Amino acid sequence: MLKHFLPDEQVQDIFSIRPGYLKEKGIKAIITDLDNTLVEWDRPNATPKLIQWFKEMQENGILVTIVSNNNEKRVGAFSDPLGVPFIFQARKPMGRAFRRAIKEMGVKKEETVVIGDQLLTDVLGGNRNGFHTILVVPVAQSDGFFTKFNRRVERRIMKFFKRKGLLEWEEKK
């Protein structure tokens, strides 16, 4: 059961994920979380660096869909100016939103990575549904109300994985 919480890869941030690397792995699409994965949970808009990242993915033919447990107002306000498709109130780690995302992008799960900052939602949901998962370090040290509980549970799981040498995890500096 614990293996469902173990990401396939871990990176410092979203910017460590490059289109060339994804294409080499046969990846055509990204399902990404929003809050504390792309931007801080309380930042309303994308940063210029993130806008450039989205542009590079698009220029390389890599589709991106934001899949978030947050509400339509939050996710839409962030995604619409970027022209990035999104699914809100995704109920991750349940699989329905992941399946909907790949159907809407017209790709297979083997051609898709799931990127997020939480083991209990993004990684668990991606792994349980057969996706390649990439864990990023949260971009903010603080979290929204519901995420705080998840983080306490995650810390215990991460300590176990670190002791076993299965996970290298570094907080933002």
The pLDDT assigned to 17 comes to: 98
What letter does residue 129 receive in the DSSP assignment?
T
* Spatial separation of the C-alpha atoms in residues 153 and 148, rounded to whole Å: 9
Q: Are 87 and 53 in contact (CB under 8 A)?
A: no
The pLDDT assigned to 41 comes to: 84
| Token pair recorded at residue 50 | 């993130």
The pLDDT assigned to 162 comes to: 83
- Written as one string, the DSSP assignment of 37-74 is TTB-TT--S--HHHHHHHHHHHHTT-EEEEE-SS-HHH
CATH number assigned to the domain with residue range 2-163, chosen from the 4 options 2.40.10.350, 3.90.1150.10, 3.30.360.10, 3.40.50.1000:
3.40.50.1000
Query: Could you list the pLDDT tens digit for every one of the 173 residues in the chain?
Result: 678 999 999 999 999 999 999 999 999 999 999 999 999 988 889 999 999 999 999 999 999 999 999 999 999 999 999 999 999 999 999 999 999 999 999 999 999 999 999 999 999 999 999 999 999 998 877 666 666 777 778 888 888 888 888 877 655 44
C-alpha angle 146-147-148 in degrees, rounded to nearest 5? 95
Q: What are the boundaries of each domain within the chain?
A: 2-163
The pLDDT assigned to 169 comes to: 63
